[in-house]
Amino acid sequence: MLMCGLGEILAHEACHATRFVDLFSGSGMVSYYVASRFAVPVHTVDLQRFSSILSSSYLCRTNPLEDKDFLDEWLGNAQRYIDRSPLRVAVTEWLSGLSARLRKMDVLAARRVCSQVESAGVVWNAYGGHYLSPLQAMQTDALLATLPVHYRNECLASLIMAVSKAVASPGHTAQPFQPTRTSLPYIDVAWSVDVMRNTADSFGEISRRHAQVVGEAWCCGAQDFVDRNLEDGDLVFIDPPYSGVQYSRFYHVLETIANQKRVNVFGKGRYPPITERPQSAFSNKGTSVDAFELLMKGLATKRITAIVTFPKSLCSNGLSGEVVKELTSAYFNVKELVVDSTFSTLGGNNDIRDARKYTNELILVLKK
């Protein structure tokens, strides 16, 4: 959408704003677009900590990160951690038993290896043999255990990005691929990713990112931010959830790494208990409409401009573009743009339901 109208709207409105606030920042791509192009402080808001870490890795700097000597030191410390690890022998034995093509027996053996040592790090028991190979799990735990104090957020964001490229799952971490005949090739490709090397590559990408003006990343709910921190003159970007399933179900692996805490997992998805995963009223079919209206009421208490994007069709959380437009029109003057869009159904596998859905996307500009 940035190339189909949203970018032009942001450029027009950002020059009049005192701050840009992204209330559902997710991966932070829209926030980075604004922070890197316009001289306005950017504030990102999201319930999930991994999102705030990704955003803070560039929002707190106004120049590229030139000092990278500590990156080699971090990677060296992680490798020495691995060399001393009691898990190294088991991982080496598992690797030596692999054939040229990953087999079901190799995946099952990986799960046995990663289930045996309960005193291991954050990732090993929870996700090793499922989302990550034993080697990748060991590398991830080593990098977490040796995180440097210097530029810690940039380093942790690099690791989160690296793991997101390595997980053996269909674009999210709601379910890992199972070792079936059709899925084994995808596990093989995912498990071939070197987490250490990809962390270094991701750090190179992050080090080049920066904001024009220092901003801030908030780990909280959208309504909490609006009630406590909204200011006159803010330009607020609102891209709320469209799924009736909590987003924390789809990104729990990244969230576990961001929190750096061991979790007890269950089920095929290896989820932490629901009480340990952020819950949003916007992803609940019974509360999403009320939550959106309450958000509009809060926004209307300040002299702000808001940009809302949402699929025009009815979504699984009970919201649709028409409902969104009706609720926004009750509190603001609304200008509407419709663009073609494709979005993930978050959990579709092209069998039971489509993995991606083609729709018209509304872009609404709200002014008092």
Among 243-257, 330-344, 347-361, the least confident range: 347-361
Asked if residue 346 has pLDDT above 70, the reply is no
What share of the chain in percent tops pLDDT 70? 95
Asked if residue 354 has pLDDT above 70, the reply is no
Asked if residue 345 has pLDDT above 90, the reply is no
The Cα–Cα gap between 169 and 157 comes to: 20
Asked if residue 64 has pLDDT above 80, the reply is yes
347 — pLDDT class (breaks 50, 70, 90):
low
Mean pLDDT of 72-95: 96
CA angle 5, 7, 11 (to 5 degrees): 120
At 50 the pLDDT is 97
At 119 the pLDDT is 72
The Cα–Cα gap between 348 and 315 comes to: 14
Asked if residue 353 has pLDDT above 50, the reply is no
Give the chain's mean pLDDT. Answer: 92
List, for residues 307-320, the tens digit of each pLDDT value. Answer: 999 999 999 999 99
List, for residues 214-244, the tens digit of each pLDDT value. Answer: 999 999 999 999 999 999 999 999 999 999 9
When mean pLDDT is compared over 3-17, 105-119, 129-143, the highest value belongs to: 129-143
Answer yes or no: are the C-beta atoms of 305 and 366 closer than 8 Å: yes
Burial 316-348 (b: 16+ CB within 10 A, else e): bbbbbbebbbebbeebbebeebebebeebbbbe
List, for residues 135-184, the tens digit of each pLDDT value. Answer: 999 999 999 999 999 899 999 999 999 999 999 998 788 899 999 999 99
Mean pLDDT of 44-49: 98
The Cα–Cα gap between 239 and 223 comes to: 13
Asked if residue 22 has pLDDT above 50, the reply is yes
